[in-house]
Amino acid sequence: MPVVRLIVCEKAPRWSVALRHVLRGLPPQIIETRSLTSSMSALATAPASFVVLDVREKNLANALEWLDQAGQRFPLARVAVTITPEMASTEVLFREAGAIDVLFSTQQAASVAHQAQRRLTQIPAEQLNLRQWLAERMPWPAYAAPQS
């Protein structure tokens, strides 16, 4: 079954810091990436994740292409795009490309965190085999079977 992570793709850690503050250690796990390529790789390891994609004018075309590819390769993923207020006219482009939300300020981090947590509840938990299921329920960790 797919794993859900909160993948944040940004050059400087603004959104990831804001999201960590809002989530305060609650799931989903935040994965920080600094490029579109590395965010696509992170998405490949957790294909049902929620992605926050920070876009600036200079990477607008690449971000739109990334959204298109991500939508085709990972249909269970959800993407929110962050842009500057000066780029407000591009909001419709991102929504048409598949973004479920377009954000302008880290003050909206609570909204993003809520959406990511809701996404976590929508995807079924990873299916465990019998050995893993029993190991998770053992009252003594020393008797738990090693993960394989």
pLDDT digits (tens, 9 = 90+) for 33-83: 999 999 999 999 999 999 999 999 999 999 999 999 999 999 999 999 999
Tell me the Cα Rg of the chain: 17
**Where along the chain do its domains lie?**
6-143
Query: Is the bond preceding residue 139 a cis peptide, omega within 30 degrees?
Result: no
- Average pLDDT on 78-97 reads 97
Q: pLDDT grade, residue 122 (50/70/90)?
A: confident
Distances (CA, A) of 82 to 53, 60, 138: 6, 11, 44
- Spell out the CATH class of 6-143: alpha beta
